[in-house]
Amino acid sequence: MKMKSGGLKSSMLLGLVATLGITAGCSDSSSTGQSSTSPAKETSKTAAAANFKLWLGWTATVNNDSWVQKYWKTEEPKVDVQIEATQGDAVTALNLKLSTGGFDDAAIFERKQVVNDAMKRSNVIQPLEKYFSMPDKYPNLAAIPKVYLDQMKDGDGHIWSLPSFFDVNPTDPWPGWSSNAWFIRKDVLEKVGMKVADLSTLQGIETYLEKASQLKDESGKPLLPMGILTDKNEENAVLAAFGVTVASAGGVTQVKKDGSNFIFKYDNPGFKAAYKWMNSLYKKNLIDPEALTDKGERYVEKNKSGRYAMNVGSFWNLNSSLWEQLDGPTAPGWFYEPIPFPKVDGVSQLGYTQIINPYPQYDTYISKSTKNLDAILSFYNYTLTPKPEMNMVINEGPAGKYWNWVDQPLGKWKFTDPQYKELRNSGDNAKKAQVTPELYSTSTFSNKWYAWWTSENIHAGGAKTGEFSQQISKMGTTRVAESYDMVKAKTGGAWEKYAPELDSVYKEYRAKLLMAKDDAQFEKAWTDFTAALEKRGHWSELKQEWNEQYNGMNKK
């Protein structure tokens, strides 16, 4: 899940999906947001809180006196969490830490097989399965959906981490930030005398591009008909229209299930057909000739100045700031709008660009030498409370503290403490760290409510991003993860060896396929591509290992 960043929508779920004491006013528990005692002046009359050190497997600005951490220490769950961040590459830092005695108490990392293997080999962590069966003491650990815990068991039945950042309802999960689509500019569409309904087929798309190419932008230059940022694999949205699945849920490759068979991305007939179509557009000058060389900054600048009539790909790379900073139709960004994927002859099912993964995305490992086990388990029993708003509670404190509902619970909300809001949205990591450590990764999320689709917006355009995402999630290219979407690489196996070269082969021949001068050159590029997949990318060997890994998963 992608985390939203910038303005109010700063680094938290994406979605839903990744911080010096000061004198500041904190709102009371009412909805008025009136200022009360500053956190710097708060004193606890209770006994010393339980405590533990939490090592983060990522880089972060740390301030262990943040407002939210003070709340945890003095009010709920009465645990003093002291954070240590990682510098540089996480896996390198992990191996160094483990080889020098390990970590003090607990360590949280994004879920990765290489991390899990290293932790287990280190012999510094303890098994945790018994703590998920203590509903009297840790009810929220016991409430973790069984399907998640079963997946985590090793051959001996041990579970080596506390899972977090999962959907509380695996059968009806939050769709995440669906962002990959086809985007038009409504103002250009109107100028060429067409409607969205006219773009339902490839022929309709081509007609629009041809007409748009006759128009000029505000500087007097001819419009570029279609923009695709291949540097970010934005052509994937075109592949999806041709029935090619381009997403996985952490697996080594994308696959499409067809009955009892699996079709791999490069073997799908739609893959070649999609490139054949894109090549035809390229030859007609309907695709930006710099599509294969542009980088993100240049691409965004073209969008900002209104150079494109249509874009294909993710709105994150299109750059959501183009509309989020507007209050009306004062710039081209205001007119962007996602449209349904065009119908392609012979394609009955779109490929998937977004695989909804409700499974845990983070793991917290506990040192077997810790003296603060109950503090760790108590903290996670709190963070994993199965409430829709818990992600927000962990990141920003409970409702009524620094934020509150505008109308009703699980509705719109706003920050109610002016100083918290100012620091939180300052854009300065050190100031933001004064108020929150942003530990949303220790919590859960839910389809019943998502904070960054219901927050207040500084500008009218701020609401568009969430609206776009919800529209795209209903276009037929989003589904819930299946086991085959999560097939991992075998340790020391073919995928670990050859995946980088496989990617290099694709990028090399992507350019040749897209820019072929005629049909004969295209066919030669295709023949050379499939040969390179085998010779350099070991394609058949990779698929064989994938099937072996998948079958092994099903035997557990």
Mean pLDDT of 19-45: 33
pLDDT in tens, 119-128: 999 999 999 9
Q: Select from 448, 377, 466 the least CA-distant residue to 167.
A: 448
Which residues does residue 405 pair with via DSSP β-bridges, in sequence order? 413
Kindly state the DSSP code that residue 445 receives in the 8-state scheme: B
Burial of 247 (0-12, 13-18, 19+ CB in 10 A): buried
Mean pLDDT of 297-310: 95
**Cα 401 → chain centroid:** 28
Mean pLDDT of 239-261: 94
- Looking at residue 250, its pLDDT comes to 84
DSSP string across 350-381: PPPSEEE--S--EEEEEBTT-S-HHHHHHHHH
What span, in angstroms and rounded, lies between the C-alpha atoms of 384 and 133? 15
- Looking at residue 427, its pLDDT comes to 86
The ranges assigned to domains in the chain are 50-168+358-453, 180-352+481-488, 489-555
Which of 16-20, 296-300, 468-472 has the weakest average pLDDT? 16-20
Mean pLDDT of 163-175: 94
- Looking at residue 458, its pLDDT comes to 83
Q: Say yes or no to pLDDT of 171 above 50.
A: yes
Instruction: State residue 455 phi and psi, 5-degree precision.
Output: -85, 165
Quick one: what percent of the chain has pLDDT higher than 90?
83
pLDDT band of 218, cuts 50, 70, 90: confident
Q: Say yes or no to pLDDT of 66 above 60.
A: yes
- Going through 444-523 in order, the beta strands assigned E by DSSP cover 478-480
Q: Which residues contact 75 (CB under 8 A, 6 or more apart)?
A: none
- Looking at residue 85, its pLDDT comes to 96
Fold of the 50-168+358-453 domain: D-Maltodextrin-Binding Protein; domain 2 (3.40.190)
Per-residue exposure over 280-302, b if at least 16 CB sit within 10 Å of its own CB, e if not: bbbbeebbbeebbebeeeebbeb
pLDDT band of 14, cuts 50, 70, 90: very low
Asked whether 107 and 55 are in contact (CB, 8 A), the reply is yes
Radius of gyration of the chain (CA): 25
Asked whether 110 and 361 are in contact (CB, 8 A), the reply is yes
- Looking at residue 23, its pLDDT comes to 26
The more confidently predicted of residues 20 and 91 is 91
**Range ranked top by mean pLDDT from 6-10, 23-27, 310-314, 485-489:** 310-314
What span, in angstroms and rounded, lies between the C-alpha atoms of 82 and 404? 27
pLDDT band of 13, cuts 50, 70, 90: very low
Domain pair 50-168+358-453 / 180-352+481-488, same fold: yes
For β-strands 336-339 and 180-185, DSSP reports them as antiparallel
Q: Say yes or no to pLDDT of 36 above 60.
A: no
Which residues does residue 478 pair with via DSSP β-bridges, in sequence order? 354
Q: Say yes or no to pLDDT of 199 above 70.
A: yes
- Looking at residue 113, its pLDDT comes to 84
The more confidently predicted of residues 14 and 220 is 220
In whole numbers, what is the pLDDT of the chain averaged over residues? Answer: 90
Q: Say yes or no to pLDDT of 471 above 70.
A: yes
The more confidently predicted of residues 196 and 48 is 196
Does the domain spanning 180-352+481-488 belong to CATH 3.40.190.10?
A: yes
Asked whether 180 and 191 are in contact (CB, 8 A), the reply is no
pLDDT band of 204, cuts 50, 70, 90: very high
Cβ count near 218 (within 10 Å): 10
Q: Say yes or no to pLDDT of 230 above 80.
A: yes
Q: Please report, for residues 174, 223, 413, 426, the alpha-carbon distance to residue 33 in angstroms, rounded to integers and kept in the order given.
A: 30, 49, 12, 19
CA atoms within 13 A on the CB side of 154: 12
Mean pLDDT of 250-256: 93
Asked whether 354 and 470 are in contact (CB, 8 A), the reply is no
pLDDT band of 48, cuts 50, 70, 90: low
Which of 21-35, 146-160, 314-328, 388-402 has the weakest average pLDDT? 21-35
What span, in angstroms and rounded, lies between the C-alpha atoms of 75 and 44? 9
- Looking at residue 33, its pLDDT comes to 34
Which structure tokens are listed for 543?
């698929």
Mean pLDDT of 276-293: 96
